[in-house]
Structure 1
Amino acid sequence: MDWIAVDWGTSTLRAWGMSADGTVLWSEDSDTGMGGLAPEQFEPALLDLIGPHTSADTAIDVIACGMVGARQGWVEAAYTPVPCEPLGAGLTLAPTRDPRLTFRIIGGLSQAEPADVMRGEETQIAGFQALNPQFDGVVCLPGTHTKWCHVSAGEVVSFQTCMTGDIFAALSANTILRHSVTGEGWDDDAFAAAVGDAVSRPEKLAARLFSLRAQGLLDGLEPGTARASLSGQLIGSELAATRPYWLGQAIAIVGAGKLCQLYATALETLGASATIADGDGMSLKGLAAARTKLAKATS
């Protein structure tokens, strides 16, 4: 093992043991996300996870991305304003007590107008660029807070964040729609129709959402159909808002497979095609790129 790659989000911690040639030797994960830790708890939480793979007399370098570098994380890793390379923020050294451990965090990116920030997605973009160095277009990173990033000449030029995932979770769990969208059912046709409706008339979103509840009461709308319609309405509204980013552009979607496919399907209904890349794989590639950049800087 040459170093350890870490992706530390709000709710999860993932680590990979890496050889010098980039081979993954082992992987571990836990639900010890940064959201539940005080600053002094980060190092013990990490050692609990990776301890079985380390030795008492061998120093190890760790490079991390994600919310571990937030203001409420282990140590704040500063934002770098765009336009810049996705790894332009460099690495921030976190304080450690164990002399075997050197922990560095990749910084995030910021945008002044309109105000926006990202932390963690920059590493996935760097990973995608490592595999597609000539890519010029838009990288979409679906999730709780979906990012649309204009990438050109190896730099992130601008980006826009949409809270679509947060809104879906809040509506389906904390509003009257929770009675209409329970379960894991799905309806592809309802999703596609909702995307088209939302893109054509995004200003009607609030009214259409309540209609899902009414259709359930009056017409027996199935929960799976209602769930797909809710998702389609929200993603369609997002696509309407981000049209200047993706219209006429090469599009790459980076993230979890099921969610990426939803976005790809939504774009297909609007006549746009996209390339899908695995989010975990791109995170690892991006962390490896940061490791290589560090090695060159210190050699």
Structure 2
Amino acid sequence: MSDTLPASQTPDWIAVDWIAVDWGTTHLRAWAMRGDEPVARAASDAGMSSLDRDGFEPALLALVTRWLGTGRVTPVIACGMVGSRQGWVEAPYMAVPCGPLNADHMVRGTTLDPRIALWVVPGLKQDAPADVMRGEETQIAGLLAGDPRFSGLACLPGTHTKWVTVRGGEVQSFSTFMTGELYGLIAGHSVLRHGLGGQDAWDHAAFAEAVAEALHQPAGLAGDLFRLRAEGLLHGMGAAVARARLSGLLIGNELAALGERRVGPVRLIGASSLNRLYAAALAIAGCEAAEAGGDDLTLAGLTLARHTLMEAPRRRA
């Protein structure tokens, strides 16, 4: 993806071919597109959780009106929670194994403004063990657009980390771990919050040691967590060490749960800070990983969705 201009540096009006949208639970991001290239971007805090169904179109228009011309319809291709049951329009899940994108399953949303036509990318579901994703499938599509022969695991670290088995151009299976959310809940609302302090310093050695411990004995997680509190009270464990150990124990436990699936090449698709942590943990587990840019892959996947839609003219009627 080429560099894009910050919203504050874009002109009042920009001629665009289409608009790419990544709409999550807490944030909305949009790119003004000419062909396959972004020429501007914009973002807001108008995530799905802050909107009712009638609020989605006004939230989008508040962000992209300056990209809309008169007398023409601009396609909007969107992924993420915008297609959830609580979203703008529900885009039913596709069942794995399947390709991450399929024009026949993209859903047309109702719009009041005649300047836009909305299409929503569906998420994926797995019936047993039960699991779902929305938004990550678009990043997987972006990964495959750049590396069609990729076969292995894609890890998408975040609040709810996804581990996705990709083979033959399809998502075969996936698992979700609430590791990021657990870290936030423990750090902010449990007894351990008293020893975790601020968020600046970090102890890499403590993180690595905790990952190794969790890989070796994952069943001891609950006891290992309370020992963080006891170590602080009895031996003065500092906040930097405590935070690193908490993260290492949770991520290590996640890797241990993957078991035999933790083989082959791994692509990390997320924020650089989280990618680095997961890469370090995977190295301790004896698995190599390569980083792939999350934003770049989201946009690549949305671009592929647009091409897929254009190649199915009956869907655009």
Task: Pick the TM interval, shorter chain.
Answer: over 0.9
Residue-pair matches, total: 297
How far apart are residue 18 of structure 1 and its match? Answer: 0.7
The SS at the match of 1:78 is coil
The SS at the match of 2:69 is coil
Which of 132, 143, 151 in structure 1 is aligned with 2:158? 143
Give the distance between the partners of 1:27 and 1:243, measured in 2 at CA. 40
Give the distance between the partners of 1:188 and 1:34, measured in 2 at CA. 35
TM-score w.r.t. the length of structure 2 is: 0.92
1:225 aligns with 2:208: no
Give the distance between the partners of 1:116 and 1:53, measured in 2 at CA. 37
Give runs of aligned pairs for residues 45-60 of structure 1, distance below 5 A.
45-60=59-74
Post-superposition Cα deviations, 1:174-224, rounded to whole Å, max 9, x if no partner, equal: 100111112112100000000000010001101111111111111111101
In structure 1, the gaps of 5 or more residues are none
Worse-superposed segment, 180-189 or 278-287: 180-189
1:105 aligns with 2:105: no
Post-superposition Cα deviations, 1:226-283, rounded to whole Å, max 9, x if no partner, equal: 0000000000000000122222x11111111110110001001122110111111100
Give the distance between the partners of 2:302 and 2:260, measured in 1 at CA. 30
Give the distance between the partners of 2:178 and 2:189, measured in 1 at CA. 16
The SS at the match of 1:261 is helix
Give the distance between the partners of 1:4 and 1:262, measured in 2 at CA. 33
In structure 2, the gaps of 5 or more residues are 1-15
1:251 aligns with 2:266: yes
Q: Among the aligned pairs, what percent are the same residue?
A: 50
2:40 counterpart residue number? 26
Give the distance between the partners of 1:29 and 1:114, measured in 2 at CA. 35
2:255 counterpart residue number? 239
Give runs of aligned pairs for residues 254-293 of structure 1, distance below 5 A.
254-293=269-308
1:177 aligns with 2:158: no
TM-score w.r.t. the length of structure 1 is: 0.97
1:187 aligns with 2:203: yes
2:310 counterpart residue number? 295
* Alignment-mate amino acid for residue 75 of structure 1: V
1:202 counterpart residue number? 218
Q: Following superposition, which runs of at least 4 residues in structure 1 exceed 6 angstroms of deviation?
A: none
Contact 2:68 2:115 in 1 (8 A): no
* Alignment-mate amino acid for residue 189 of structure 2: N
Which of 94, 97, 100 in structure 2 is aligned with 1:83? 97
1:2 counterpart residue number? 17
Give the distance between the partners of 1:204 and 1:194, measured in 2 at CA. 12
Worse-superposed segment, 48-57 or 58-67: 48-57
CA-atom RMSD, angstroms? 1.0
Post-superposition Cα deviations, 1:57-99, rounded to whole Å, max 9, x if no partner, equal: 3310000000111101111111010000011373111110011
Give the distance between the partners of 1:100 and 1:244, measured in 2 at CA. 51
The SS at the match of 1:96 is coil
Contact 1:6 1:65 in 2 (8 A): yes
